[in-house]
Amino acid sequence: MPSAYLVGHVTVKNAEKWAEYRSKVPATLAPWGAELVFRGARAATYSGSLPHSDIVVIRFPDAAAIDRWFNSDAYQALLPVRAQAAEVLLLAYDEA
């Protein structure tokens, strides 16, 4: 069965708050069978433009799990910290 992926494009505004947010996210992912695939900073841009410098990719069992995670009380409780910490664009993708 194909997985689904959550891709976050990130621009950190407050490093201390971002560290706090990042430290709390893994506990919200565990109940949904999610795993961190990749986290990194942009090294180069070859085509187009994207205002965010960082990326995170998280694999979920399916798109429904992403939706349940995002709407969970545990993750929703982190949104105020995330808003203070960074500008974040979150996108969900189904594996083709």
Q: Answer for the pair 10, 54: CB distance below 8 angstroms, yes or no.
A: yes
pTM, two decimal places: 0.93
The average pLDDT across 70-90 equals 98
Give the number of domains in the chain: 1
- What tokens were used for 60? 């979920």
Question: 75 in helix, strand or coil?
Answer: helix
Structural domain boundaries enclosing 69:
4-42+51-94
Distance CA 57, CA 72 (A): 19
Residue 19: closest CA among 80, 86, 76, 75: 86
pLDDT per residue as tens digits for the range 7-63: 999 999 999 999 999 999 999 999 999 999 999 999 999 999 999 999 999 999 999
Residue 8 belongs to a domain with what CATH number?
Answer: 3.30.70.100
